[in-house]
Structure 1
Amino acid sequence: MPHMIRQRNNPNSPNIRKNGPKWKHLQNRSEAVNPSNAIEYGLSFPTGYTAFKVLLSARIVAAIWSHITDCDETFNYWEPSFVFLYQGHYLLYGKGLQTWEYSPKYALRSYTYLLFQLVPALIYNAILRPERLLLFYFQRCLLAVACSVCEVYFYKSICREFGIHVGRMTLIFQLFSAGMYISSTAFLPSSFSMYMTMLSIGAWYHRKYELAVFLTAISSFLSWPFAALIGVPIAYDMVFMRKEIGKFTKWCLISCFIILLPMIKIDSMYYGKWVIAPLNIVLYNVFSSHGPDLYGTEPWYFYLLNGFLNFNFVFLSALLTPIALWTVSKIVSVNARNPACLPYSLSLLPLYLWLGVFMLQSHKEERFLFPVYPMICLCGALTVDAIQKIYFRLFVRTGQHYLHHTSHIVFPAVFITSLLGVTRILALYKGYHAPMDTYMELNKMSAEGNLPTLNYFNICVGKEWYRFPTSFFLPNDRWTLQFLKSEFSGQLPKYYSQTDGTSVIPDYMNNENKEEITRYGNLTSCHFLVDLDIGQSTDYEPNYSSQVEKWVIVKSIPFLNNIKTSKWVKAFYIPYIWERNAVYGTYNLLQARKMRVQPSKY
């Protein structure tokens, strides 16, 4: 994506294409560049259509090659979606795994959220009846399109509020960041809230307050109630700064009527009782005696490390944005910012409010920061822009525009952060994509007719249960996932009841993450077994791959050994250094010797 500043004194200069299909050109002297100043500026930037094409290319790459990074995505969203698509009148012909959150006794999750996202996939499945794996990637590609549309709207709103230079830097940071690569096509409420954040904040920057309130409500009710935190600055702007409490109240009520009431109706129908899922999840996480801390706690700096891995120096820059903007305000003319713009302290508050609240929580997950990932890119861009202005003021002072004299700052910043983002993405693919490739082997074997004629197949997992990439990767409904006892001592999911599964209270489920031994199958009933071999074993996690008298390795794929690989090596893929220092185990698909099966040709 080119970035050019073209100087011109004559607005009719033939060197500038005013109506080019891909790029718009603007020019200025010293203040932030805004799209409305088209006659005065000479700065190149991508149009919305060009931005969409570039973003969509990146998001389709993520849809196809990114792996599932969180078992919550598999068991709380892909699995119940599989049930919707493949079983009975409420689902079409298969079976899916159910977590305790979907038990009618607790009802923490919303089926409306799943239905809302699955409508195109339901139509696709009803018309063409594709293979399960195709349906999985079809849904991912839909998420890629949705994310790209939201990103374009966010980009255009940034150009309006903060100037084109900040907008195009934000666009590049989003395009190459590992964080956006992971989150953009994840089938998670936090990813959906990220989409809604871009739309609601974008509407706010466009001064479309009614739309901003409505989109915040969609995010809060339909996907994740805690996303309402992002709407607090919008509410403050409307109620206290603009004195529009009537409009704010009106649209809150409209949002409840349009979103929450149908949601209650749909969820209650599936659960078989009166349910307000967003309220249940708030009550459990905030007011219960145990809450989310049962699922692990992390130190206060967890998000700092994770933020650097996913956004590298962009994240560090975003943390410094308030200081950078304060410094600019002290040394740059106050006329450099349009007084019609929102105060920085308000327009950027969603990011710092979110970080402040979630860093204080003991239970931390990477996905919890997804909703503010675009804001990280925006604030990182603002910091780079501020550094350019400071440099111009201190060391140049004269000239037409600070951008003419500070390209040596922005180009290295964009190049280094983009390069680090790509190397992180490559590290994730080369190190951790093996589970998805391993389960694809089952589909190849089934398609080639290399499996015996059996009524059912049991595919077993022990310590690798949390890397199971969903039932969409199993060839057909004759396949069943079976858990084996491992060192993990928490609660595992179980299959939905085959009759009215969503409304039946399942046996042996609890909300305290207590182990349920009824989840475990017998090793002797396994036809296939998926296991990671890193040369270690325990009583509950033997090295199945070494038991050659019982198992045959059908497929073996390298998988990064996190224990033996230095954290500095595995963080980013650096050619030669990675090959010399990364230590791999093998991710193996094992076949029981009692069953004669031919491996795939590929």
Structure 2
Amino acid sequence: IAMPHSIRQRTNPNSPYMRKNGPKWRNQQNSEAVNPTNAYEYGLSFPTGYTAFKALISARVVSAIWSHISDCDETFNYWEPGHYMLYGKGLQTWEYSPKYALRSYTYLLFQLVPAFLYNAVLRPDKLFIFYFQRCLLAVTCSACEVYFYKSVCREFGIHVGRLTLIFQLFSAGMYVASSAFLPSTFSMYMTMLSIGAWYHRKYELAVFLTALSSFLSWPFAALIGVPIAIDMLFMRKDLMKFTKWCIISLCIILLPMVRIDSLYFGRLTVAPLNIVMYNVFSTHGPDLYGVEPWYYYVLNGFLNFNFIYLSALVTPIALLAVSKLVSVNARNPACLPYSLSILPLYLWLMVFTLQPHKEERFLFPIYPLICLCGALTVDAMQKLYFRVFVRTGQHYLHHTSHLVFPTVFITSLLGVTRILALYKGYHAPMDTYMELSKMTAEGNLPTLNYFNICVGKEWYRFPSSFFLPDDRWNLMFLKSEFRGQLPKYYAEESGTSIIPDYMNDVNKEEPTRYGNVTSCHFLVDLDLSTSSEFEPNYSQQIEKWVLVKSIPFLDNYRTRKWVRAFYIPYIWEKNVVWGSYNLLQARKMRVQPSKY
């Protein structure tokens, strides 16, 4: 197994690496990462791009296969329309009604092209399509992360780059976001590419990728590009290049997008404009879907990145302390000022913290920047420690490794324990719905023209129609304590262009969505030993239902927050309170459970 090349190997003209590959950094004099003098002073090992890619893709494929869908928006606004485009059947939310048209079919087409080809050529099971698509997202994320890693090494140095890579590799936040089928995840990919291009001084590419993120996935991702625009317009005075590439991006991305969406919706549609108008200028907007306190992102950030997130919050202070207290060589003037290069993170946090409606996915686009700024803070702490306690020596990295290794170990361990907590506590819905495919494959179902699988309070954990064996299966909603608007099935003919009945943009409950429990063949429910008028404990109604499958599911209400946050062996087993995620079969229908 080849070890990663060190800077000494990469810069020594007599090394085999240099003889084979040539001095790749010869022309990169604007990077503080590539100072040959410093390289000779200390041998700093770091992963090559290929090594980093292998490590990242291993972690991301694990996410693609074992992470659960944590946000119902991913299911109903992306997987379900995607299922409709592939198979002609799926659930439609009000955002896809031509009357409102907040979502873009172009984005879905762009993401699902490989799935279309895979399905057309091999006709696999729908579950294979689901996980195939997720694995593609994992590969895409890994490639973007490698580019970002190389860019960080170039702009901030090898040490900051390798810390950033490690933080990304083991963070629960990147685990959750990397394979999610969400616009905010695509914007995260584009953040890594656009910021990476910016750090490489490829301004044309940076502008184009920012536009791709803003138009195709999420208009608010344009906020990430504000510092790039500041750099081009006010520092480099390059108005012509900025304007030129804005126009090129508009023509290449937005115009075809408007054409495609208009064909699907049956009327002129500019989806990015519609979503901005609804979220910013409407009288109701996103606040209808819940509001959170200002500290929501602090708590959520700690869960997903632990101390890395807290470190990222104080990066400007740490860098200021280094500039005032530590006598270091001045940064290469070709490097971007810190006040600009890390500005996207704090600009994003400021804007989204001020919004009443907060969601975990809203921070996905800045997840890589959290890792970067966390790494910058650790690097700054090393310099400060060296200045205060050592003062003399060859290089601060020689004398501060005892600070780095515990930091990396603790943050990585916390990240892994959070990932394990998510899997062990909340993966049950995915496994429960897989049971349906097993039963179908084993021939344990009666010959019926259709099957109704019902959900009440557990509607938002439905993992998508990809988990229903074939087109005979229908999801049916039962009335619960939830009082918002639920999706409905697309019309069979011209489903994307027909304005569906009984849809609104104010999250008002639509009683027409509910079916009768007597029509259910199967029912999925969470048994927490509680019941109410609209949420009876179906699992206890043994005269009506037979238990087919039961999987433990963490009870959030009866488990302390500090216990459920991270998986700690023995403590979890002793303190976590479990419910049962149950697949129930109506007694009126004779069905044999699967063998496994």
Query: TM-score, length-normalised on structure 1?
Result: 0.95
Q: How far does the alpha carbon of each residue in 1:21-51 deviate from its partner, in whole angstroms, 9 at most, with x for none?
A: 99x999xxxxx96146386352100111111
Aligned 8 A contact 1:25 1:43 in 2? no
Q: What is the match of residue 241 of structure 2?
A: 247
Q: How far does the alpha carbon of each residue in 1:263-291 deviate from its partner, in whole angstroms, 9 at most, with x for none?
A: 00000000000000000000000000000
Q: How far does the alpha carbon of each residue in 1:86-114 deviate from its partner, in whole angstroms, 9 at most, with x for none?
A: 12xxxxxxx10000000000000000000
* 1:370 equivalent among 353, 364, 369: 364
Residue 10 (structure 1) shift = 14
**Whole-Å Cα distance in 2 between the matches of residues 298 and 21 of structure 1?**
56
1:453 and 2:453 matched:
no
Residue 3 (structure 1) shift = 11
Q: What is the match of residue 543 of structure 1?
A: 537
**Whole-Å Cα distance in 2 between the matches of residues 451 and 152 of structure 1?**
47
Q: What is the match of residue 204 of structure 1?
A: 198
Q: How far does the alpha carbon of each residue in 1:135-167 deviate from its partner, in whole angstroms, 9 at most, with x for none?
A: 000000000000000000000000000000000
Residue 331 (structure 1) shift = 1.6
1:123-138 counterparts in 2 under 5 A? 123-138=117-132
Q: What is the match of residue 269 of structure 1?
A: 263
**Whole-Å Cα distance in 2 between the matches of residues 421 and 2 of structure 1?**
27
Distance 1:469 1:556, change over 3 A: same
1:546-557 counterparts in 2 under 5 A? 546-557=540-551
Q: What is the match of residue 57 of structure 1?
A: 58
Aligned 8 A contact 1:5 1:404 in 2? no
1:18-417 counterparts in 2 under 5 A? 18=17, 34-35=33-34, 37=36, 40=40, 41-87=42-88, 95-417=89-411
Residue 593 (structure 1) shift = 0.2
1:563-582 counterparts in 2 under 5 A? 563-582=557-576
**Whole-Å Cα distance in 2 between the matches of residues 182 and 491 of structure 1?**
26
**Whole-Å Cα distance in 1 between the matches of residues 308 and 262 of structure 2?**
43
Distance 1:2 1:374, change over 3 A: farther
Structure 1: gaps spanning 5 or more residues: 27-31, 88-94
Residue 396 (structure 1) shift = 1.0
* 2:494 equivalent among 492, 497, 500: 500
Q: Secondary structure at the match of 1:44?
A: coil
Q: Percent identity?
A: 78
Q: Secondary structure at the match of 1:553?
A: strand
Q: Secondary structure at the match of 2:369?
A: helix
Q: What is the match of residue 441 of structure 1?
A: 435
**Whole-Å Cα distance in 1 between the matches of residues 157 and 197 of structure 2?**
16
Q: How far does the alpha carbon of each residue in 1:184-218 deviate from its partner, in whole angstroms, 9 at most, with x for none?
A: 00000000000000000000000000000000000
**Whole-Å Cα distance in 2 between the matches of residues 392 and 380 of structure 1?**
19
Aligned 8 A contact 1:5 1:403 in 2? no
Aligned 8 A contact 2:32 2:331 in 1? no
Aligned 8 A contact 1:25 1:42 in 2? no
**Whole-Å Cα distance in 2 between the matches of residues 593 and 409 of structure 1?**
62
Distance 1:394 1:132, change over 3 A: same
**Whole-Å Cα distance in 1 between the matches of residues 290 and 453 of structure 2?**
28
Distance 1:274 1:12, change over 3 A: closer
1:596 and 2:590 matched:
yes
Q: How far does the alpha carbon of each residue in 1:286-330 deviate from its partner, in whole angstroms, 9 at most, with x for none?
A: 000000000000000000000000000000000010000000001
1:477 and 2:471 matched:
yes
Q: Secondary structure at the match of 2:579?
A: strand
Aligned 8 A contact 1:300 1:359 in 2? yes
**Whole-Å Cα distance in 2 between the matches of residues 557 and 490 of structure 1?**
28
Residue 395 (structure 1) shift = 1.1
**Whole-Å Cα distance in 1 between the matches of residues 19 and 545 of structure 2?**
63
Aligned 8 A contact 1:3 1:45 in 2? no
**Whole-Å Cα distance in 1 between the matches of residues 587 and 19 of structure 2?**
66
**Whole-Å Cα distance in 2 between the matches of residues 264 and 6 of structure 1?**
49
Query: TM-score, length-normalised on structure 2?
Result: 0.96
Q: Secondary structure at the match of 2:498?
A: coil
**Whole-Å Cα distance in 1 between the matches of residues 562 and 186 of structure 2?**
32
Q: What is the match of residue 527 of structure 1?
A: 521
Aligned 8 A contact 2:94 2:505 in 1? yes
**Whole-Å Cα distance in 2 between the matches of residues 441 and 113 of structure 1?**
31
Distance 1:53 1:8, change over 3 A: closer
**Whole-Å Cα distance in 1 between the matches of residues 266 and 8 of structure 2?**
69
RMSD: 2.2
Q: Secondary structure at the match of 1:45?
A: coil
Aligned 8 A contact 2:444 2:592 in 1? yes
Residue 338 (structure 1) shift = 1.8
Q: Secondary structure at the match of 2:46?
A: strand
**Whole-Å Cα distance in 2 between the matches of residues 86 and 405 of structure 1?**
61
Residue 445 (structure 1) shift = 0.2
**Whole-Å Cα distance in 1 between the matches of residues 567 and 19 of structure 2?**
38
Residue 398 (structure 1) shift = 1.3
